[in-house]
Chains A and B, each alone.
Chain A
Amino acid sequence: MRCKELEAVLEQEGLSPLPPEAQEHLAECPDCQDFFADISAIAVAAKQIPAEENPPDRVWISLRAQLAAEGIIREEAPLELAASIPWWQNLSQLFRPRMLAAVGAGILVVLGSVYVTNRPRLNSAQHTPTSQGALTSSQPKISEAAESLAPAPVGSAPAAAAKNGSPTARATRVSVPPLPREAPRDLKPSPSESAYLGESAAVLSATESALPGRQLAGNAMADASLRANLRTLNEFIAECEARLKQNPQDQLTREYLNVAYQQKAELLTAMMDSGRSEH
């Protein structure tokens, strides 16, 4: 082997163990020995140079800003990738404060919806014309009375009082508990339901009898309006009570009566507040 051939071997085989012919030549040729020793030393020294260097943090900051500016990156992982994450890795997400707050708000919304969908059944006669249309032919007077109440005398009373300078805040409130809901429609009322109606009637009668006979709202027209509304309510209540005596199982009449009691309580509260503010 000649020097040129040895160099060709070194080029293709590198510094790995040389074939016997190359080793023989190397042992005999001082120049090739020097050359082999030098490039071996260079390769060894090169391995002392770090193969990794920590770049400054500013490089990533700058790069990230550039990527964001170009719209290449976004903060949140896409949904399709989130779906590919194993479910057990998502459990920890449930207990993050933001997630808990969202769940709590959701629960409140659901509870509120349930409450709202149940409660209007009592007020449907007052606020929803469609429920009035659902009344049976055996209850024409009650439906007419309910329609007469539709303009909401309760609401007009405080409004009238407010027009006359009366405070709208209710210092005294005549309250009627909500109708017990355990009795289904067209079934015999439960004892608690009957007791409730009786208790409401007694409370309202006592309150009405305590109203002062003098002018309430400080304005003759407002006072007349309040008393007219009270009369209408009383007539409606009397009609409902009479019908319930005839047919105690009439659930719809019972609900109308309950609504009327609540409206009368509101109206009495407004009338008493008006009278107090004037005197």
Chain B
Amino acid sequence: MCSSTSVLGTTLRGTRRIRTTSGAAIGQLARQRPAEPVAWTEAEAIRRAQAGDSTAFEFLYQLHSRRVYALCLRMVGNPADAEDLMQEAFLQLFRKIGTFRGESAFSTWLHRMTVNVVLMRLRKKSLPTDSLEETLEPDAESSGPKRDVGAPDLRLSGAVDRVNLERSIEKLPPGYRTVFVLHDVQGYEHNEIAGIMGCSVGNSKSQLHKARTRLRELLQEEIREQARQERHSAKTQTGSQG
């Protein structure tokens, strides 16, 4: 599993494909977008923030807050908690900004802090009952992905919508959830996630695959539950008519 408290050892230099709010996979690194009225580079803003310039703090906040807030929101599924966590993450970041030396990307540093803050909160609240180590072992008999014995052969294609998926994401164990949100929702590459989570690239890939597999199960359960409720309501209607 990824150790979210370990020290980042990866230096990220490439550009990251990020997705805008419209969902299109376009654009470069968030730090390279001149979205703010102050025409600073991120490096200059960091240097100014290290000297205590409040405008630079706001610049950095405006530059990264949308992605950090979205990450918190997907992780906890609650806007109030997401705001609280984001503020805590930025507060920790700005307290330590004087120690930032640029060995890693600033956004990676920020996201690592955010993930740490979120996971710490989730551990305290003990929301999930699943272990962070939870994995899905392949079915030994079939040597394939785990199947529900006796369950109808459900295919999710066409049945996966955003609402169902977000609900299922909230049920994921935090470790899986973090990697899935960072990769499939926010568009980070595995080497970046490894930097954020403090784990190996292979571990990040493994976590993502297990998260997808677990999501498939959760969605199948949801579809079965919906089908069960529909059958129950149909029987009820038939009985009342008879």
Contact = CB atoms under 8 A, between A and B. Distances in A.
A98 to B, nearest CB: 18
B21 A50 contact: yes
Contacts of A41: 156-158, 160
B104 interface: no
B144 interface: yes
Nearest to A66: B91
Contacts of A221: none
B12 to A, nearest CB: 18
Contacts of A63: 61, 87, 90-91, 94
A260 B56 CA distance: 65
User: Which one of A34, A47, A52, A76 has the greatest number of beta carbons of chain B within 10 Å?
Assistant: A52
Interface string A165-189: 0000000000000000000000000
Contacts of B145: 3, 7, 31-32, 35
Contacts, number: 176
B91 A55 contact: no
A3 B142 CA distance: 8
Interface stretch (B119-127, B161-169, B225-233): B161-169
A245 interface: no
Given A42-B160, A45-B161, A51-B187, A31 B144 contact: yes
Contacts of A4: 138, 143-144
B55 interface: yes
Given A14-B205, A59-B83, A73-B54, A47 B66 contact: no
Interface in B207-235: 208-210, 212-213, 215-216, 219
A28 interface: no
A43 B23 CA distance: 13
A47 B67 CA distance: 14
A60 B58 contact: yes
Contact of A78 (B53, B165, B216): B53
A64 B147 contact: no
A48 B185 CA distance: 8
A56 interface: yes
B18 A48 contact: no
Contacts of A35: 144-145, 213, 216
For the residues of B in contact with A, the DSSP-based class is helix
B48 interface: yes
Contact of B165 (A32, A45, A73, A76): A45
A74 B144 contact: no
Interface residues of A, number: 52
Contacts of B70: 50-53
Contact of B185 (A49, A60, A64, A72): A49
Given A39-B216, A59-B87, A64 B73 contact: no
26 contacts: A3-B144, A31-B144, A31-B147, A34-B155, A35-B145, A38-B216, A38-B219, A39-B209, A42-B216, A46-B180, A47-B25, A50-B23, A51-B21, A51-B23, A51-B187, A53-B21, A55-B65, A55-B66, A59-B87, A60-B61, A60-B65, A63-B61, A66-B91, A73-B54, A77-B51, A81-B53
Top 6 nearest A-B pairs (CB, nearest first) are: A3-B144, A46-B184, A52-B66, A11-B209, A55-B69, A73-B54
Contacts of A7: 138, 144-145, 209
Given A3-B145, A31-B147, A10 B209 contact: yes
A12 interface: yes
Contacts of B180: 46
Interface of A: 2-4, 7, 10-12, 14, 29, 31-32, 34-35, 37-56, 58-60, 62-64, 66-68, 70, 72-78, 80-81
A14 to B, nearest CB: 7
Contacts of A40: 157
User: Which one of A12, A35, A44 has the greatest number of beta carbons of chain B within 10 Å?
Assistant: A35
B31 interface: no
Interface string B120-162: 0000000000000000001000111101000001011110111
B112 interface: no
B74 interface: yes
Interface string B59-86: 0010001110110011000000011001
Interface in B168-221: 180, 184-187, 202, 205-206, 208-210, 212-213, 215-216, 219
Given A4-B144, A59-B86, A67 B57 contact: yes
A4 B82 CA distance: 38
Contacts of A75: 54
